[in-house]
Amino acid sequence: MSEIYALGTNFKTAPVEVREKLACKTEDLPDLLRELKVKSGVEELCILSTCNRVELYTVSPSEGNVELLKEEFLKLKGSPKAGKYTFIKKGEEAVFHVFKVASSLDSMVVGEPQIVAQFKESFQVARKAGTVGKILNRLFEKALKASKRVRVETGISRNAVSVSYAAVELAKKIFGDLRDAKVLLVGAGEMGELAVNYLRRHGCRLFITNRTYERALRLSQRLGGNALRFEEMESYLPTLDIVIVSTGAPGYVITKEMVKRAMKKRNYDPMFFIDISVPRNIDPEVGSIDEVFLYDIDDLKEVVENNLKDRLREAKRGEIILWDEVKKFMLWLESLKVEPLILKLKLLVREREKESPYVRKIVHRAIKEMKRNPEAASIILRIFQEEVEDVHGREGLSYVYNRVDGT
């Protein structure tokens, strides 16, 4: 019977320069899938291509076809020497790997949610290309079910594991409800942009300033905020709740004296400062002012590292769930071996089954036993053929099972 295989490269097995060469554009996948399936002789095929992995999931009658698939893929991508970075997993090990990928337990950042959408998309592309069938259909369906179980039953996605998102989580702890909180982004650094994007989703009001006003204006149009002039920043400070600084300035753009004046004007309502700049752009002494909360990049990284440790502990629980789902899938896969025998059994009694409720009962019980015990399926079928001749023998069914057991 054909086996399930998983092969390819990922961030654990290959450096980024190798993964870049093997990466597949979504629009190129349908033709690539069909060509590889024909050239290699595999029965079913799907390709998952992300920034961290390029993996092929396949059903094949032999390992030779899988080796050929690997060679053809590397050849088509112009990287025949990348073979030393590839892995091949087979059977239960391959199924576990696929489930682990879909559940983000194999991701660079454990628990990251993007992989679920990428996993679904890769399957949809293969399905439309006509390169998946009964087994991969079931594999992906059960992998997504396992992924949902892991997310619901563990805490792998509970805590922030990016610096920007950690900043937002800290803001929520300080202010609770972030709706209508006023947020100022100083500068145009990438992490700062990510942080304000997260905050905007919580209903915050966004303001942006930059030494170059035109740049602040462009950024505010893109992010959906209001541009402020950099030289007027201090006059706006008392009206703000959260200030995120992400610039390339060599010194402090926000000083202790500026914040002391702002806090006095706002009657010491809490303010939250996030300094994602390196070197720091907010005077560390700002954190000593009453009701002012200041976090720099190192503080945020410490939060992230602690959260990652929590996620890794939860990932161990997630793997137990995955093995439970893998075992169920493997039982289904094993039951496919008896499908031809079940079909033969049904053809054998097609007419008699209509006439006799007793025969229908025996057929139902025999099929159930064949699925439960695939190794004995051919014996069950042979005994059934003998026993069904006497449809009135009410003792027959237990006799069938005794003979299967060899007693």
Burial class (CB in 10 A: 0-12, 13-18, 19+), 122: buried
Are 151 and 321 contacting, i.e. CB atoms less than 8 angstroms apart? no
Please name every residue paired with 55 in a beta bridge, in sequence order, or none if there are none.
8, 48
Collapsing DSSP to helix, strand or coil, 205 comes out as strand
Question: Which of these, 147, 160, 115, lies nearest to 318 by C-alpha position?
Answer: 147
List of residues 6+ apart from 212 with CB closer than 8 A: none
Cite the DSSP H helix spans in 53-189: 63-76, 91-102, 114-129, 134-153, 163-175
Are 274 and 215 contacting, i.e. CB atoms less than 8 angstroms apart? no
Helices (H) and strands (E) in the chain, counts: 17, 10
Number of other residues whose CB lies within 10 A of the CB of residue 174: 15
Give 254's DSSP letter.
Answer: B
Are 105 and 322 contacting, i.e. CB atoms less than 8 angstroms apart? yes
Number of other residues whose CB lies within 10 A of the CB of residue 330: 15
Question: Which of these, 295, 321, 301, 313, lies nearest to 242 by C-alpha position?
Answer: 295
Catalytic positions, written as ranges:
51
- Residue 127 tokens, joined: 């399905």
